[in-house]
Copies of this chain bind each other. A is one copy, B any other.
Amino acid sequence: SMHWIVTLTCDDRPGIVHAISGAIVEAGGNITESQQFSSGDTGRFFMRLQVESDAPREVFEQALAPVTERYAMEWQLDVVGRPLRTLVLASKAGHCVNDLLYRQRAGQLAIDMPLIMSNHPDLGSLATFYEVPFESHAVTTPGQKLAFEDRILEVVEQHDIELVVLARYMQILSPELCEQLSGKIINIHHSFLPGFKGANPYKQAHARGVKLIGATAHFVTSDLDEGPIIEQNVVRVDHASTSSELVSIGQDEESRTLTQAVKWFAEDRVLLDGARTIIFR
């Protein structure tokens, strides 16, 4: 039998759970996992269900259709464990890419990576070891940047990419690209946002003498470092930590935070509620 994931959102009102569960019973399904949230901020209702069923997709969709229409739901039907088509953008630092590749191969992260793109060739051999295609293009002139972004869109189109991951890709994307791929780009910022936005966050953290440093995985919007936060982690540091030690200490938080965010996204656990995210862990 198949395991399905249903995610949906609509304006909150009574009877939604009963209506949805009715459609699932009709399709011969059994709910094995269920999470819901009613947002006090936006008045929206959010739900994620895992359903065990022998029914084919069409039967499922037919059963759900009247309900999703009645409540004007945005919804999605996915299969548990289906690898998410993911484009990874990287630069020189390998810790985040290495973690994604290692966990993907180890079976802990259901993504397909048809390509890794970088503005530096450094991570080529790592990609090769994990048998993931890799291309690098210099991005130092405005023209090169434009070409790089065109190539991104081409790859997204060609491979039907569902998620673009900025795995310490150190370039700022154009507002147009952010807009076009809205809700589909996840970035890892190497600070505990909203603290230390912008460049050199570890240097800022050292100067300010913070006692914990962190990392933030968030959706990319054209408003730099302000997109909806998906996950954050921190680690303790002390007065003896230099800026460059903070960099090294922080890398673990960066890679585990980014991998966690990608994993949740790939499992359809991340929903958007205005400027905030719902995470159905």
Question: A240-B37, A276-B239 in contact; A209/B229 too (CB < 8 A)?
Answer: yes
CB contacts (< 8 Å) of A40 on chain B: these are 242
Q: Is A194's CB within 8 Å of the partner chain B?
A: yes
Asked whether any CB of chain B lies closer than 8 Å to the CB of A112, the reply is no
Interface residues of A in 24-53 (CB under 8 A from B): 24-25, 28-40
Q: Assess the A207–B17 pair: CB atoms within 8 A.
A: no
Which residues in chain A, 107-141, are within 8 Å of chain B measured between CB atoms? 108, 125, 129
Among residues of B, the one whose C-beta sits closest to the C-beta of A271 is B239
Count class of interface residues, chain A: 35 or more
Identify whether the interface residues of A are mostly helix, strand, loop, or mixed.
Answer: mixed
Given A22-B18, A195-B194, A229-B208, CB of A252 within 8 Å of CB of B256: yes
A145 to B276, CA, bound (A): 40
Q: Which residues of B contact A277 (CB under 8 A)?
A: 209, 239
Contact stretch, chosen from A3-11, A94-102, A152-160, A168-176: A94-102
Report how far A21 CA is from B18 CA in the complex, Å.
5
Q: How far is the CA of A242 from the CA of B103 in the complex (A)?
A: 19
Task: Tell me whether A278 is interfacial, beta carbon within 8 Å.
Answer: yes
Contact A229 B242 (CB under 8 A): no
The answer to whether A15 has its CB under 8 Å from any CB of chain B is: yes
Q: Which residues of B sit under 8 angstroms from A35, Cβ to Cβ?
A: 34-35
Q: Could you list 23 A-B pairs, sorted by A, with CB under 8 Å?
A: A14-B28, A17-B21, A17-B24, A18-B22, A33-B36, A34-B34, A34-B35, A39-B239, A102-B102, A125-B129, A192-B212, A193-B195, A194-B195, A194-B210, A208-B275, A208-B276, A209-B275, A209-B277, A211-B230, A211-B231, A239-B273, A239-B276, A239-B277
Interfacial residues, chain A to chain B (CB-CB below 8 A): 13-18, 21-22, 24-25, 28-40, 94-95, 98, 102, 106, 108, 125, 129, 192-196, 207-212, 214, 228-234, 238-240, 242, 248, 252, 256, 273, 275-279, 281
